[in-house]
Amino acid sequence: MHISLIVATDENNGIGIRGDQPAFISEDLKRFKALTTGNTIVMGRKTYQALPKGALPNRRNVVLTRQRHFSAPGCDIISQPDELNNICGPDEKVFVIGGGEVYKLFLSQSQEIYLTKIHHTFEGIDTWFPDIEDNNWEVKTTEGPFTDKKNGLSYSYINFSRRKI
């Protein structure tokens, strides 16, 4: 299993406001779709409930929850992070798509981070991406900055790989 985290943060690592994302960038959503389609996505129950149409099509959706009878049509449910090892094959490409709690849980097991850095500081942020240590991660590629045509936000793509020890 190859685990990557994929996330959009603001300049202070902010990722959420009242159960939603602070901003949506349409090119970033397209990139997210291109990267994750055909693979497996893992999300916390709260992030699942923020999806407007439920499970995302053409990928395996996995939801993490402690609720025994949680219903998430089209999704596999796991009740602890380790269960991912039982349900995923050795060659499966897994993207952890949030939110804050679930990024923290999988950070130490992940090999890559696909970060969309939005060059802005949003008001009212209540959920953050965990700090990553420079000792553990190296920047592999950066692209941008780009500007979103709709909302004028500037953003860059920064891909990190775990440093080999």
Ligand X SMILES: NC(=O)c1ccc[n+]([C@@H]2O[C@H](COP(=O)([O-])OP(=O)(O)OC[C@H]3O[C@@H](n4cnc5c(N)ncnc54)[C@H](OP(=O)(O)O)[C@@H]3O)[C@@H](O)[C@H]2O)c1
For ligand X, the binding residues (CB under 6 A) are 7-8, 15-16, 19-21, 43-47, 50, 64-67, 79-81, 97-102, 105, 127
Taking the complex as a whole, how short is the minimal distance between the CB of residue 59 and ligand X, in angstroms? 15
Edge to edge, the sheet with strand 75-78 lists 75-78, 60-64, 40-44, 93-96, 2-9, 112-118, 154-162, 137-147
Q: How far is the CB of 11 from ligand X (least distance, A)?
A: 13
Residue 129 CB, nearest distance to ligand X (Å)?
8
Q: By C-beta, is 19 or 163 nearer to ligand X?
A: 19
Nearer to ligand X, 1 or 125 (CB): 125
For the bound state, the minimum distance from the C-beta of residue 165 to ligand X, rounded and expressed in Å, comes to 26
Residue 60 or 62 with smaller CB distance to ligand X? 62
Comparison of 29 and 163: residue with beta carbon closer to ligand X = 29
Strands 14-16 and 93-96: unpaired
Distance CA 53, CA 50 (A): 9
Give CA–CA dist 157/18, Å, rounded.
25
Report the DSSP pairing between strands 60-64 and 40-44: parallel
Give the shortest CB-164-to-ligand X separation in angstroms.
27
Report which residue type is found at 69.
H
Specify the pairing of strand 137-147 against strand 40-44.
unpaired
